[in-house]
Structure 1
Amino acid sequence: MSGSFYSKFVFPYLCELTMSGKSLSGFRQDALQEINGEVLEIGFGTGLNLPHFPETVQKIDAVDVNPRMHRLARKRIDKYGIEVTNYVLSGEHLPMDDASYDYVVCTFTLCSIPDVSQALLEINRVLKPRGNFVFLEHGLSDVTKVQAWQHRLNPLQKKIGDGCHLNRKIDDLVLGASFEITSLKRFHLPSVPKFIGHCYQGIAAKPLSSD
């Protein structure tokens, strides 16, 4: 529903409401605690990660396809004092130069990028050699019965979640973009239905050479 009334005027507020709960704050904090240097965030949204970046992070390049997300993020940006350069675009075609960043961050976003494999290749491209891709995403469960429900409900979720997929296997997608996964946790979010609450939290390094 990209470009629709729902995408522009309803989903940003729904996203803020559902993703800003305290239950996710601890996971965000844990995922982002080692971020430093030059940072790019894909799927910046309403800036929900801003409170969880270390104090050493003073500047972030932020990519989000939805311009209204950045408007909603304005108060949060002002509150935390991090300089944010906003890019209104999707993650498949980034304008940044090769090897520009020490860290690329992505939380609850890979589920909704149309060509997620291309976006991950772009993330790899803009990272410096041995730079790190930090991700916290929901995706395909490791439980067969839950997987069945995820596949069954995926068409409905794509409509409600503005392109969000329930059934992407995040670790396989990351490995498919020539990353080396150095850390990976898989878990279910507490008090969240299992079909939408299975999460992947990890760090993936860009190899010194992609050959």
Structure 2
Amino acid sequence: MGLKTLWNAHVVPRMIKCACGAPGIAELRGGIVPQAKGRVFELGCGGGLNQPFYDPARVTAFAGIDPSGKLLDYAREAAALKGWQADIREGIGEQIPFADNSFDTAVCTYTLCSVDDPAKVLSELRRILRPGGTLLFLEHGLSDEGGVARWQRRIEPLWKPLMGGCHLTRAVTAPVRAAGFQVDRSDHKYMDGMPKWAAWMEWGAAVKPA
């Protein structure tokens, strides 16, 4: 097993769990995840970092996928602590292993930055949502300030291999619209206490047209 494989299998999951569990990011999760209701699917559920924010009174069923076996261990532990049944599987967003129109809500947090094909992933999320279903998204990405964006492009080639393929320069809300969702609510800001090149956050709710 090569160094890159060892790094991605053992070091990156721990780094992601630590970074994505920071207090400021947890606060943003707390504003998005509790909106989930009905049959809920979470893309990139590994780490279980969203689990504390789901409202069991609103969620009737929960499923999720993640490509990292180590992060899936964390997710299953978090689901067990919550005390609910959860269908948590290994998988990738480009091939979500669930049928069309299966879910009322899809949740995607800090995941689109690292998938191979964001457009395909968003197409898959649209496919598995029922007509009128909601995509809740929260991601970091490309700043709308030209100077910051230039630094993101410079740093990204060094950042990606250290962080498991995470991109700094992907747009967030515009691709959601391009995938055929109607964006009902969206917002953005720089996260306090982080360098601007890593701090641009966007979040919102988008509906699959009926």
- Which amino acid counterpart does residue 134 of structure 1 have in structure 2? L
Deviation digits for residues 142-201 of structure 1, max 9, x if unmatched? Answer: 111000001111111111110100011111111111111000001111111111110111
Consecutive unaligned residues of structure 2, counting only runs of 5 or more, are none
- The whole-number CA distance in structure 1 between the counterparts of 2:111 and 2:11 is 17
- The whole-number CA distance in structure 2 between the counterparts of 1:21 and 1:95 is 30
Q: What does residue 80 of structure 2 align with?
A: 78
- The whole-number CA distance in structure 1 between the counterparts of 2:34 and 2:104 is 14
Aligned-partner SS, 1:137: strand
- The whole-number CA distance in structure 2 between the counterparts of 1:158 and 1:58 is 37
Aligned-partner SS, 1:72: helix
Residues 1:50 and 2:39 are matched in the alignment: no
- Which amino acid counterpart does residue 182 of structure 2 have in structure 1? E
- The whole-number CA distance in structure 2 between the counterparts of 1:74 and 1:87 is 10
- Which amino acid counterpart does residue 114 of structure 1 have in structure 2? D
- The whole-number CA distance in structure 2 between the counterparts of 1:44 and 1:163 is 17
Q: What does residue 16 of structure 1 align with?
A: 17
TM-score normalized by structure 2?
0.94
Is contact 1:58–1:82 with CA below 8 Å preserved after alignment?
Answer: no
Tell me how far 1:55 sits from its aligned partner: 2.3
- Which amino acid counterpart does residue 116 of structure 1 have in structure 2? P
Q: What does residue 65 of structure 1 align with?
A: 67
Consecutive unaligned residues of structure 1, counting only runs of 5 or more, are none
Runs of 4+ in structure 1 over 6 Å off: none
- Which amino acid counterpart does residue 182 of structure 1 have in structure 2? D
Tell me how far 1:32 sits from its aligned partner: 1.5
Tell me how far 1:33 sits from its aligned partner: 2.1
Aligned-partner SS, 2:186: strand
Deviation digits for residues 111-158 of structure 1, max 9, x if unmatched? Answer: 000111100000000000010000000000011100000111111111
- The whole-number CA distance in structure 2 between the counterparts of 1:76 and 1:163 is 25
How does 1:1-211 map onto structure 2 within 5 Å?
A: 4-56=5-57, 57=59, 59-208=61-210
- The whole-number CA distance in structure 1 between the counterparts of 2:77 and 2:181 is 35
Output the aligned Cα RMSD: 1.4
Tell me how far 1:72 sits from its aligned partner: 2.5
- The whole-number CA distance in structure 1 between the counterparts of 2:77 and 2:91 is 21
Deviation digits for residues 6-37 of structure 1, max 9, x if unmatched? Answer: 11111111111111122222111111222110
Tell me how far 1:84 sits from its aligned partner: 1.8
Which stretch shifts more, 150-159 or 133-142? 150-159
Tell me how far 1:58 sits from its aligned partner: 5.1
- The whole-number CA distance in structure 2 between the counterparts of 1:21 and 1:158 is 20
Which stretch shifts more, 128-137 or 86-95? 86-95
- The whole-number CA distance in structure 2 between the counterparts of 1:76 and 1:119 is 25
Q: How many residues align?
A: 207
Which stretch shifts more, 15-24 or 185-194? 15-24
TM-score normalized by structure 1?
0.94
